Amino acid sequence: MKRWMILLLCLVGGIRETRACDICGCGVGSYYIGLLPDFKKRFAGLRYQYKTMRSHLGPGGTTSYLTTDEVYQTAELWGGWNIGRRFRVLAFVPLNINSRENQGVTLRQSGLGDIATVGYYQLFDRQHTTRHNKLLVQSLWIGGGIKLPTGRYQPAVRKENEDAPNNFQLGTASVDFTLNAAYDVRLMDVGINTNVSYKINTGNKYDYRYGNKFTANLLAYYKIRLAPTVSLAPNAGLLYETADKDKEGAAMKVDISGGYSLLATTGVEATFGNMAAGLNFQPVIAQQMADMRVKAGSRAMVHVTYLF
C-alpha cells in the first residue's frame, strides 16, 4: 500500500507553477484524457468539448469596450488500441469550432485541428488480495506522443491581435511532442486515476513557439455494477495546467501568454455492453493567466464510444 501512495505522490508532485499554458486549455494543442472507458482490445468514439474564455481584461479583471468573449468547441474522433498486454496507442482527430465576440460582432472559424497520437508501455499490472480479503489492482503506463500540424494556422490573426493570446487558431503549424504517464489504483470498486503529461512544443515556420505545457489530472471514482454488462462510475477530482510563456522570433517572450489554472472535475462514466458514454463538468477553482488579462470559464465534455 505504501508503494502505490509514494508513486502517486511522485506523479502528482511534478506539478509546478512555471507561469503559463496555452491559456486555460482553450484553443490549440489541448488533449484531455481523463478516465478511459473499460476496453479489452480497441475502442473508437466521438467526444465533444466546450470551453470559454474572456480576454482584454483591465486591472482587477475589469471589462471595457475591448473585452472579448471567446468560445472553443471541439468535436473529436478518438480511439484506442491495446497491442498485446504491454502496449497501447491512443489517437485524436479534432474538428475545432472557434468563435470570438466583441461589441456585438462575432468572428468564427472552423476546420480540422492538429491530429495527435500517444503510445504507452505498461510498466506493471498487479493484483493481490489484502489481509482484509479485498482485491487491490494497480497499473502504470508510461509513453510519449506526437502532434502533427494538420490544423490551419493564420499568422495574420496573430498580427491583428498582438495584444490578445494567440489562441484563436485551428492549429499550431508545429510538430510537438508529449511525455505521458497514467497510474490507476483500485481497491475493489473504489479507485484513483492519475494522468500526467508534459507537452514539448517546437517553433513553427512563422517564428512562433507556444510554451511547453504540463497537465495533471487526478480523479477518484466508484464503480457501480448494475448488471453483468452494465456499470456506472461517478468520479470527481482536480485538473491542473501550467506551461512556459510563448515565444516569438528568436527568444522574445510573449507577454499575453502564460499563467496557470486549477479546475475541479465531476462526472460519470457508463458502460452498457459494447458501448460506453460519459460526461464531465470542470469549474475553475483558481487561475492566473496572461498577467491577469485573461479569465477562463468552466468547461464541459461528453463522449459516446464503441468498444470492440
Exposed / middle / buried, residue 16 (Cβ in 10 Å: 0-12, 13-18, 19+): exposed
Fold of 2-307: Porin (2.40.160)
DSSP structure string for 169-230: -S--SS-EEEEEEEEEEEETTEEEEEEEEEEE----TTSEEPPPEEEEEEEEEE-EEEETTE
Query: Are β-strands 68-83 and 105-112 bridged in parallel, bridged antiparallel, or unpaired?
Result: unpaired
Closest CA to 95 of 119, 118, 78, 80: 78
92's grid cell: 485524436
Number of Cβ within 10 Å of residue 286's Cβ equals 9
Closest CA to 194 of 167, 221, 173: 221
pLDDT at res. 250? 77
CA pseudo-torsion sign 212, 300, 105, 54: negative
CA pseudo-torsion sign 121, 15, 221, 42: negative
For 60: left if phi > 0, alpha if psi spans -120 to 50, otherwise beta; the answer is: left
CA dist 273 and 303 (Å) reads 16
Spans of the chain below 70 pLDDT: 1-31
Which letter does DSSP use for residue 159 in this model? Answer: H
Beta strands in the chain (DSSP E): 42-55, 68-83, 87-102, 105-112, 116-129, 135-147, 176-187, 190-200, 208-209, 213-222, 224-227, 230-243, 247-248, 252-253, 259-272, 275-282, 284-289, 294-307
Q: What is the pTM of this model?
A: 0.87
Residue corresponding to grid cell 491559456: 23
Supply φ then ψ for residue 168, to 5 degrees: -80, 65
pLDDT at res. 6? 43
Cβ atoms of residues 141 and 121 within 8 Å:
yes
Number of Cβ within 10 Å of residue 217's Cβ equals 23
CA dist 64 and 48 (Å) reads 31
Which letter does DSSP use for residue 12 in this model? Answer: H
In sequence order, the 6+-apart residues with CB closer than 8 A to the CB of 252 are none
CA dist 249 and 60 (Å) reads 30
168's grid cell: 484563436
pLDDT at res. 26? 61
In sequence order, the 6+-apart residues with CB closer than 8 A to the CB of 174 are 149, 201, 202, 203, 204, 209, 210
